[in-house]
């Protein structure tokens, strides 16, 4: 029940990967073999563009979602500041993924950027009033605005259209790693400047993702070299991974409605059973637009790492917050941004359901969860 | 049994975990994060607070085939060990933080959490032996005299020891490394950790000076005559001879030693080696590692006052709140705050914190 971390690679993606790996040639070569691979990559790029709602030239393949986010944040910032030095403010939601927050912090520490975080409401969405008044007062000083399409710990979908209206001509980047392939997503329809999508969250292989970047927008590269991807991203084109990514995306989008409906039903069943069977458990940010699979629950008085350890001993996977580079568990910055106390944030677990889960999985979870919560509720640290 | 193996990322705790797992126990590996910022206390490959160490511990757990988790004990460690370390020095005493860590963290906070989560005890890579004897479950020195760590474990009471497992007590260090290599643990040749894990570079005095300030005070002889100045009395320890920075030589030219540290007046008293000699030690807050000896009864045994110090033949007795020790031969230099550990042969009887000497 940790599908938001990653999901198993799908059969169609494995098949596409296997076939593509047997084909020789570098997609950037001038010869016949290279051209054949290039054709497959460009076919894939065009198909992905249709699935995302953008033009093929707007697709920049990267090695990870983190890389795509770094490219967007740093790339926009460097470009904007070089054109207009006073535009050094980066506005971002307070509960962005670390792949967005950390590049911003790096720019603050090393490049003179200013960071402004949009507060999060109790409903788990950004505070649009704050954004509206901040942008009104600082319009000509903002380099970019970053708001994720949906939050990875809560599952809440963010009001991106409203953000874009408020932003006007300020570029808006949206990390859609958790949304793409799970809920309707239309890049051009939304009017985004850039977005990040990733293969391994939708049944594609690890190590491939994409930055969708509006045509005509320049960003400064992070990786310099051959300039294979629109002269913005360098590195040999990973043709098999890209082709497999797109096969997974096709599969996800084709089956989006039926899968979402059944995963959403599972989530409601899980929510129902937890509410009924675990006294004191609180479901976090479940109202409003939501991803089908994510359910975030606070079990007051517990420590999430103890809950996860005990669930793990029953071979049940879930997650909580994030860990620092040494692996030390930290209370979720997402819940802290929503105004949770450190102890409540630390008492919260994210269950994320996917196509591999069934009602039987939830029944198994619920046979052990009451006891796990009781054990983890004892004073487990001195 | 269900056991939590505390894994520092070093070779000893890795082999200890492997041994209990191989014996058929249900074992999880736990690395303790002891600093809220893992690079704060120490950088470099030694010690217990680095990203490399947590990685080494995780890798060892994976090779052994046991689940692995990181437990955040930074707050407990700071309150129970680091603050105590600073407070003791500020009071002119010389603490041993490894003792406190065993007493307050590994066999308190960690053991309690392990029990709450349904485990039976904590396994560490300490060199000591637990044995079932006619006196019950008792703690004894390790077979490797060079590595014996019973001294730093003597702060554990019988309840704590009931949940403590030391699988390395019967093996010498060289064999631990050989065993690690055979088991495919790449920490087999990792250097031993030395010094105090939370003091970077081992510069104890510098670390204390940063936190306690460096107020200049006087170095005086036993008559009160000023011989020099120091930058913080707490950076000295009783019996210290080197680095005193005294400009006035002694009349007979003989070396001088720190005799006393007076925190209130920030004064360091120095004198001859003879003046350091003590034959009586009083220890407070006794902890018994096995059956409690009858009060007010004299026993023969050995006193040890440093982690790798020699066992000193002695007669000891206690009154419930203090242990008093009469040494057969005089001892030169013992600071209050140090751990006093009593042995009966190789069995650890108990311990106390040195409160006064005569």
Judged by phi (left if over 0) then psi (alpha if -120 to 50, else beta), residue A339 lies in left
Residues 6+ apart with CB under 8 A from B271: B221, B222, B256, B257, B259
ipTM over 0.95: no
User: Which residues sit opposite B278 in a β-bridge?
Assistant: B331
- The reply to whether B345 falls in a domain is yes
The residue in chain B having the minimum alpha-carbon distance to the alpha carbon of residue A378 is B116
The H-assigned helical ranges of B156-213 are: 158-162, 173-182, 204-212
pLDDT band at B196 (very low <50, low <70, confident <90, very high): confident
Residues 149-178 of A with CB under 8 A from B: none
Q: B47 with B211: CB under 8 angstroms?
A: no
- The reply to whether B134 falls in a domain is no
Structure tokens at B322: 């203090």
Residue A14 Cα distances to A10, A26, A241, A365, B132, angstroms: 6, 21, 10, 30, 58
One domain for residues B256 and B347: no
Structure tokens at A230: 């629109």
Instruction: Kindly name the residue from B49, B197, B289, B314 that is annotated as catalytic.
Output: B197
Q: What's the pLDDT tens digit per position in B229-254?
A: 888 888 888 888 887 878 777 777 88
Residues 118-147 of A with CB under 8 A from B: none
Q: Is B104 on the interface with A (CB under 8 A)?
A: yes
User: Which residues sit opposite A197 in a β-bridge?
Assistant: A210
Judged by phi (left if over 0) then psi (alpha if -120 to 50, else beta), residue A183 lies in beta
**Rounded-to-integer distance, Cα A228 and Cα A218, Å:** 15
- The reply to whether B289 falls in a domain is yes
Judged by phi (left if over 0) then psi (alpha if -120 to 50, else beta), residue A90 lies in beta
Domain boundary among B251, B272, B293: B272
Number of domains in chain B: 3
Residues B69, A309: C-beta atoms closer than 8 Å:
yes
One domain for residues B39 and B86: yes
Q: How many CB pairs under 8 A join A and B?
A: 62
Buried b (16+ CB within 10 A) or exposed e, B12-51: bbbbbbbbbbeeebebbbbbbbbbeebeebbeeebbbbbb
**Rounded-to-integer distance, Cα B210 and Cα B226, Å:** 26
Residues B117, A376: C-beta atoms closer than 8 Å:
yes
- The reply to whether B133 falls in a domain is no
One domain for residues B48 and B98: yes
One domain for residues B253 and B349: no
Q: How many residues does chain A have?
A: 382
Supply the CATH number for residue B101's domain.
3.40.50.620
Domains and CATH numbers, chain A: 11-254 (3.40.640.10), 256-376 (3.90.1150.10)
- The reply to whether B114 falls in a domain is yes
Q: Note the pLDDT of residue B319.
A: 96
3-state helix, strand, coil in chain B (%, to 5): 30, 30, 40
Q: Is A54 a catalytic residue?
A: no
What end-to-end distance do the CA atoms of chain B give, in Å?
A: 48
One domain for residues B187 and B229: no
One domain for residues B185 and B85: yes
Supply the CATH number for residue B220's domain.
2.30.30.280
User: Which residues sit opposite B3 in a β-bridge?
Assistant: B27, B121
Q: Which of B1, B3, B16 is nearest to B67 (CA)?
A: B3
Q: Is A327 on the interface with B (CB under 8 A)?
A: yes
One domain for residues B222 and B302: no
pLDDT along chain A (382 residues), means of 10: 94 97 93 95 98 97 98 96 96 96 96 97 97 97 98 97 97 98 97 98 98 93 93 95 98 97 97 97 94 97 94 96 71 92 93 96 98 83 44
Q: How many Cα atoms are found within 13 Å in the side-chain-facing hemisphere of A137?
A: 8
H-run or E-run covering A120: none
Q: Is A317 on the interface with B (CB under 8 A)?
A: no
One domain for residues B53 and B65: yes
Q: What's the pLDDT tens digit per position in B338-357?
A: 999 999 999 999 999 999 99
**Residue that wins the pLDDT comparison between A113 and B41:** A113
**Rounded-to-integer distance, Cα A351 and Cα A271, Å:** 10
Q: Which of A204, A211, A201, A176 is nearest to A190 (CA)?
A: A176
The pLDDT of B172-193, averaged and rounded, is 93
The pLDDT of B69-97, averaged and rounded, is 91
Structure tokens at B10: 């070093």
Domain boundary among B272, B292, B316: B272
One domain for residues B249 and B317: no
Burial of B204 (0-12, 13-18, 19+ CB in 10 A): middle
Q: Is B289 a catalytic residue?
A: no
Domain boundary among B202, B224, B257: B202
- The reply to whether B137 falls in a domain is no
Q: Note the pLDDT of residue A328.
A: 76
Q: What's the pLDDT tens digit per position in B250-305?
A: 777 888 899 988 888 889 999 988 888 999 999 999 999 999 999 999 999 999 99
Map tokens 């039987």 to a residue: A360
Out of A313, A328, A380, the one facing B116 most closely (by C-beta) is A380
Residues in chain B within 8 Å Cβ distance of A376: 117
H-run or E-run covering B228: strand B226-231
Supply the CATH number for residue B316's domain.
2.40.30.10
**Rounded-to-integer distance, Cα B175 and Cα B14, Å:** 13
Q: What's the pLDDT tens digit per position in A113-158?
A: 999 999 999 999 999 999 999 999 999 999 999 999 999 999 999 9
Instruction: Kindly name the residue from A324, A326, A328, A382 that is annotated as catalytic.
Output: A324
One domain for residues B45 and B101: yes
Q: How many Cα atoms are found within 13 Å in the side-chain-facing hemisphere of A343?
A: 6
**Rounded-to-integer distance, Cα A174 and Cα A75, Å:** 14
- The reply to whether B38 falls in a domain is yes
One domain for residues B290 and B171: no
- Residue A46 has a CB neighbour count (10 Å cut-off) of 14
CA angle A283, A289, A295 (to 5 degrees): 30
DSSP A125-181: SB-HHHHHHHHHHHGGGEEEEE--SB-TTT-BBP-HHHHHHHHTTS-EEEE-TTTBT
What average pLDDT does chain B have?
90
DSSP B74-140: HHHHIIIIIHHHHHHHHTT----HHHHHIIIIIIIIHHHHHHHTT--EEE----EEEEEETTEEEEE
One domain for residues B53 and B172: yes
Phi, psi of A265 (to 5 degrees): -65, -40
Q: Which domain holds residue B350?
A: 276-357
Residues 6+ apart with CB under 8 A from A279: none
């Amino acid at each position: 029940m940790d599908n938001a971390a990653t999901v198993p690679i799908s059969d169609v993606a494995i098949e596409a990967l296997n076939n593509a790996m047997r084909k020789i040639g570098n997609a950037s070569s001038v010869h016949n073999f290279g051209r054949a691979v290039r054709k497959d990559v460009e076919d894939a790029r065009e198909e992905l563009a249709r699935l995302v709602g953008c033009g093929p030239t707007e697709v920049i393949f990267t090695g990870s979602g983190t890389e795509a986010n770094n490219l967007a944040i740093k790339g926009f910032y460097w470009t904007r500041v070089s054109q207009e030095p006073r535009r050094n403010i980066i506005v971002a939601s307070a509960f962005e993924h670390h792949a967005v927050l950390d590049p911003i912090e790096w720019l603050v520490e090393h490049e003179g950027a200013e960071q402004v975080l949009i507060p999060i409401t109790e409903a788990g969405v950004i505070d649009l009033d704050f954004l509206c008044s901040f942008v009104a007062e600082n319009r000509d000083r903002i380099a970019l605005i970053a708001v994720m399409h949906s939050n990875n710990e809560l599952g809440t979908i963010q009001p991106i259209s409203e953000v874009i209206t408020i932003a006007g001509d300020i570029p808006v980047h949206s990390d859609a790693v958790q949304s793409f392939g799970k809920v309707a997503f239309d890049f051009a329809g939304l009017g985004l400047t850039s977005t990040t999508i990733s293969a391994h969250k939708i049944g594609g292989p690890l190590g491939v993702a994409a930055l969708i970047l509006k045509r005509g927008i320049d960003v400064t590269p992070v990786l310099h070299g051959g300039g294979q991807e629109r002269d913005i991203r360098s590195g040999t084109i990973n043709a098999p991974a890209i082709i497999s990514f797109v096969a997974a995306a096709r599969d996800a989008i084709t089956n989006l409605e039926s899968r979402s409906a059944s995963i959403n039903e599972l989530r409601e069943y899980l929510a129902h059973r937890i509410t009924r069977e675990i006294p004191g458990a609180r479901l976090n940010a479940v109202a409003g637009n939501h991803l089908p699979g994510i359910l975030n629950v606070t079990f007051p008085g517990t420590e999430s790492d103890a809950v996860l350890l005990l669930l793990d001993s029953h071979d049940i996977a879930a997650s909580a917050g994030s860990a620092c580079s040494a692996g030390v568990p930290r209370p979720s910055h997402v819940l802290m941004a929503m105004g949770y106390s450190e102890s409540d944030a630390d008492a919260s677990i994210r269950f994320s359901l996917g196509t591999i889960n069934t009602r039987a999985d939830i029944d198994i979870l619920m046979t052990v969860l009451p006891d796990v919560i009781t054990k983890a509720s004892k004073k487990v640290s001195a | 049994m269900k056991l939590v193996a505390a894994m520092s990322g070093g070779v000893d705790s890795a082999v200890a975990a492997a041994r209990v797992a191989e014996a058929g126990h249900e074992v999880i590996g736990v690395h303790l994060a002891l600093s809220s910022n893992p690079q704060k206390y120490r950088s470099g490959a030694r010690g217990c607070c680095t990203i490399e160490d947590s990685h080494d511990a995780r890798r060892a757990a994976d090779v052994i085939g046991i689940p692995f988790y990181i437990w955040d004990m930074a707050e407990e460690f700071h309150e129970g060990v680091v603050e105590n370390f600073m407070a003791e020095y500020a009071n002119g005493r010389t603490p041993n933080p490894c003792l406190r860590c065993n007493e307050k963290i590994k066999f308190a906070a960690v053991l309690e959490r392990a029990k709450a989560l349904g485990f039976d005890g904590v396994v560490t890579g300490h060199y000591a032996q637990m044995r079932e004897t006619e006196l019950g479950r008792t703690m004894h020195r390790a077979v490797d005299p060079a590595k014996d760590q019973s001294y730093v474990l003597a702060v554990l009471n019988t309840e704590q020891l009931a949940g403590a497992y030391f699988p390395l007590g019967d093996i010498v260090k060289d064999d631990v490394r050989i065993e690690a290599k055979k088991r495919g643990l790449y920490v087999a040749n990792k250097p031993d950790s030395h010094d105090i894990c939370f003091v970077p570079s081992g510069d104890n005095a510098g670390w204390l000076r940063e936190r306690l300030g460096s107020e200049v005070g006087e170095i005086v002889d036993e008559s009160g005559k000023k011989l020099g100045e120091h930058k913080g009395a707490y950076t000295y320890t009783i019996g210290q001879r080197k680095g005193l920075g005294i400009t006035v030589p002694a009349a007979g030219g003989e070396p001088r030693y720190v005799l006393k540290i007076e925190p209130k007046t920030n004064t360091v008293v120095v004198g001859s080696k003879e003046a350091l000699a003590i034959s009586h030690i009083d220890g407070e807050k006794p902890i018994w590692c096995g059956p409690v000896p009858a009060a007010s009864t004299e026993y023969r045994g050995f006193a040890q006052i440093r982690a790798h110090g020699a066992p000193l033949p002695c007669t000891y007795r206690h009154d419930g709140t203090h242990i008093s020790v009469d040494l057969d031969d005089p001892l030169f230099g013992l600071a209050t705050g140090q751990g006093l550990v009593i042995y009966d042969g190789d069995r650890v009887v108990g311990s106390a914190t040195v409160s006064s000497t005569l």
